[in-house]
Amino acid sequence: MATTRTPPVPAPDASPKRGLSARVSLGRVFAPVPSEFLLIASTALLLTGFGLVMVLSATSAGQSPYETVIKQGVFAVIGIPLMFVASRLPISFWKKAAWPALILATFFQLLVFVPGIGVHANGNNNWIQILGFQMQPAEFLKLTLALWIGYVLYRKQTLLGLWRHVFIPLVPVSALVIATVLGGRDLGTAMILVLIMLGALFFSGVKLRIFLLPLVAAVAVVTFFAVASPDRMRRIMSFLNTDCLADYYGDCYQPLHGIWGLAGGGIFGLGLGNSKEKYDWLPAAANDYIFAIVGEELGLIGCAVVLALFALFAVGAFHVIRKTNDPFVRIVSGGITVWIVGQALINIGVVLRLFPVLGVPLPFMSQGGTSLLSALVASGVLLSFARSLPVKRTDAPPRRPARTPVPAAR
């Protein structure tokens, strides 16, 4: 009797599985992002582009009108891709990088005291020059300090009710980092670092009495360094002088021309590129006083647009703080938001003569490649946090109402 053989069953093709996994991977890449991501990214890009235009306009009166904006553009071309690369990194990466990043940034800041590398300008040692590029290392301390404080307070989340666990190692390490900046006599940047520390403490949820102690200590330290410097005291006294015209050729020269630039623009401005103050009347027109050029050329409307963009940036960042369930994300986002928005308000307040001249740039807009680069990378960190927010499912099928069991007939 002949036996019949069963033909072998062909192995299933693995290509459908590979195709499915490829579709899943592409779906993750092109998955819709939260509205906070779009808000933060769009405002950062708009402020950067706006800043490049205003830097070009403010420096167009020089002999090389395109040299400054090209240098600024190089940092923008580097910083914008870095922002989106940082947005793809997971939160675990930022937690692991907190300590190494702060140590590396602190050693980078110490280069300002190395002869031949550090640059001494206007009484301050806060710049370095390497391979023809001039950088301000303290700008990187802002982001790394926010990440480090967020990581330390995140690890001690259950112990924040005890003041010793809040203060150690946060206060000693932060004081050492800020001391490296004060050693170069850069009080403006040191004040921003203090604001970052206070903002991170506030959003960590520590008790009010524990938060007030660092606040009082920070005010005392800033007051001491302001009084200890004759140059700073002179600028503060000129700010408090109600009759500033009497000291026109002294410390009141720059604040007066900043106010005159804003007032000369009116509502609609003189037109882009038509500033008069940039012709050697207003010092630091492309740096700390870029907002005065905005007001002069684009008027009140241009100033309102800048303020609205920073307000939208703050709204997106505060939504991240409010919606997240991760204490690390909340603390670091709070520190970064206080840094960028607070620094913008301080810079605009200096131009409006509400504060004395502090030498603080306007984030995203002022001339300075290191400042722009650090602000863009910090925005990338916020975008990374925005990706981690819980997303509401809207595509789930509606649930059917439960059927009421029909009693059986007797």
| Segment 141-150, tens digit of pLDDT | 999 999 999 9
Residue 258 or 397, more confident: 258
In a domain, 163, yes or no: yes
Using CA atoms, how far apart are residues 52 and 131, in angstroms rounded to an integer? 23
Q: Supply the pLDDT for residue 194.
A: 92
SS3 127: strand
241-250 mean pLDDT: 71
Using CA atoms, how far apart are residues 228 and 162, in angstroms rounded to an integer? 34
Confidence of residue 233 (pLDDT cuts 50, 70, 90): confident
Using CA atoms, how far apart are residues 409 and 398, in angstroms rounded to an integer? 32
Summarised one tens digit per residue, pLDDT across range 278-297 is: 888 888 899 999 999 999 99
HEC string for the chain: CCCCCCCCCCCCCCHHHHHHHHHHHHHHHCCCCCHHHHHHHHHHHHHHHHHHHHHHHHCCCCCCCCHHHHHHHHHHHHHHHHHHHHHCCCHHHHHHHHHHHHHHHHHHHHHHHCCCCEEEECCEEEEEEECCEEECCHHHHHHHHHHHHHHHHHHCHHHCCCHHHHHCCHHHHHHHHHHHHHCCCCHHHHHHHHHHHHHHHHHHCCCHHHHHHHHHHHHHHHHHHHHHCHHHHHHHHHHHCCCHHHHCCCCCHHHHHHHHHHHHHCCCCCCCCCCCCCCCCCCCCCCCCHHHHHHHHHHHHHHHHHHHHHHHHHHHHHHHHHHCCCHHHHHHHHHHHHHHHHHHHHHHHHHCCCCCCCCCCCCCCCCCHHHHHHHHHHHHHHHHHHHCCCCCCCCCCCCCCCCCCCCCCC
Q: Supply the pLDDT for residue 121.
A: 74
308-328 mean pLDDT: 96
pLDDT for 409 beyond 80: no
In a domain, 407, yes or no: no
Confidence of residue 350 (pLDDT cuts 50, 70, 90): very high
In a domain, 232, yes or no: yes
* Lowest model confidence (mean pLDDT) among 175-179, 246-250, 262-266, 320-324: 246-250
pLDDT above 70 covers a percentage of the chain that reads: 85
pTM of the model: 0.86
pLDDT for 12 beyond 60: no
89-110 mean pLDDT: 96
210-239 mean pLDDT: 76
In a domain, 185, yes or no: yes
Mean pLDDT of the chain: 85
In a domain, 151, yes or no: yes
In a domain, 13, yes or no: no
Q: Supply the pLDDT for residue 22.
A: 45
In a domain, 399, yes or no: no
125-147 mean pLDDT: 89
Query: Which domain does 344 fall in, by range?
Result: 33-387
Using CA atoms, how far apart are residues 40 and 383, in angstroms rounded to an integer? 7
Residue 220 or 200, more confident: 200
359-367 mean pLDDT: 93
Using CA atoms, how far apart are residues 135 and 301, in angstroms rounded to an integer? 33
Q: Supply the pLDDT for residue 299.
A: 94
* Lowest model confidence (mean pLDDT) among 198-207, 301-310, 343-352: 198-207
Confidence of residue 27 (pLDDT cuts 50, 70, 90): very low
17-44 mean pLDDT: 70
In a domain, 292, yes or no: yes
Determine the residue type at 313.
Answer: F
* Lowest model confidence (mean pLDDT) among 230-239, 250-259, 366-375: 230-239
Summarised one tens digit per residue, pLDDT across range 44-69 is: 999 999 999 999 999 887 767 788 89
Q: Supply the pLDDT for residue 390.
A: 79
Residue 307 or 283, more confident: 307
Most confident by average pLDDT, 134-143, 207-216, 384-393: 134-143
pLDDT above 90 covers a percentage of the chain that reads: 54
For the chain, the domain total comes to 1
Using CA atoms, how far apart are residues 356 and 231, in angstroms rounded to an integer? 12
HSE-up (13 A, CA, CB side) for residue 136:
25
Output the six-digit token pair for 219.
């005010």
